[in-house]
Structure 1
Amino acid sequence: MNNNKPKFKQIIDAAVKVIAQNGYHASQVSKIAKQAGVADGTIYLYFKNKEDILISLFQDKMGQFIEKIEEEILKHQGADEKLKALIGMHFKQLAEDHDLAIVTQLELRQSNKELRIKINEVLKRYLIVMDQIIKDGVDEGIFRSDLNPRLVRQMVFGTLDEIVTNWVMKDQKYELINQVDEIHTLIINGLKKV
């Protein structure tokens, strides 16, 4: 990924818009180039092909996405509040960028195994953040000590992911952020020591 060149961000942002509007399969490199205001050939100075654009887009955008969540979590004390901050930032960032939400929730669900492996690599950093919150909650005595961290992480991520996908499928007709408290309560009640 050659993201230190000046047109990289321009092309990535154009790709998000084009893929959100047309779907991944109908998004020709030429459409992305036109949206970015660059010649078709310029795209190939940065990316090998369309799949490389999609992977680079995910690496770049999700890298920023996870970074913002990590920064927000540092402002909070205790696993309970950190988890709420994570849910809030997950929803806030996707609610603020509808095109990115469409791309992450729908267009990145490709059946291509190689693509899925690369996407999972990027997500590992996010899952580490979740694992740490779960561990903190157990260490603080807030969460049950018999939790299976991997299962909890899948449950939390799966819940957030499905809620955002549902919001995208409903044409983003309601405020995603308004669901943070309720989701946080449901998840916390499942993890808390009784």
Structure 2
Amino acid sequence: MDAVAGAAWDGQAVHEELERVRAEFHQLLGSATRAELARPTAGTRWTNEQLLFHMLFGFLLVRPLLVVFACFGRLPLGASRTFARLLDAATAPFDLVNYLGPVGGARLCGRRRMARLFDRVIADLHRRVDAESPAHLALRMHYPCRWDPFFKDVMTVADLYRYPARHFSFHCGQLTLPGSPGAARG
């Protein structure tokens, strides 16, 4: 098994994680009524539907972040440190866009489109995981840690593939849909 930044890369575990999340997303989205999707979440300003879109967006971000890795991952680590600091300095505008994106995205997409889009992005991530080389998985760069609690100061491409499922699981606890961890608080 190839070592990636000091840890073993387990592509099969990533595949299993992607499928677990895909099934959970469909269950949450498919079993909720319109009224349940419109309810507020626990600890965010979003509705359940908007938070589900935000959770989907975490997976959509992997593709453009892989492009960023292709650039900065081949440069000295200091180059990405400067970039990450600039992004951290722009946290307030990011937070606004991060909030408004799911508000509009949920309205534009709706339940069926979100489900189809989730399936497409998961299928794409499966293909990408299968095509990864050990050298590419080991690329490292600094990340804007203030943007997301699951971004580490230095991340590898392998870390990036694990990020969206962690982000998803965290936000599941804020959903107030029946059967979700946050339902009792909502």
Task: Verify same fold: TM over 0.5.
Answer: no
Give the TM-score, by structure 2 length: 0.31
Give the TM-score, by structure 1 length: 0.30
Q: Which has the larger radius of gyration?
A: 1
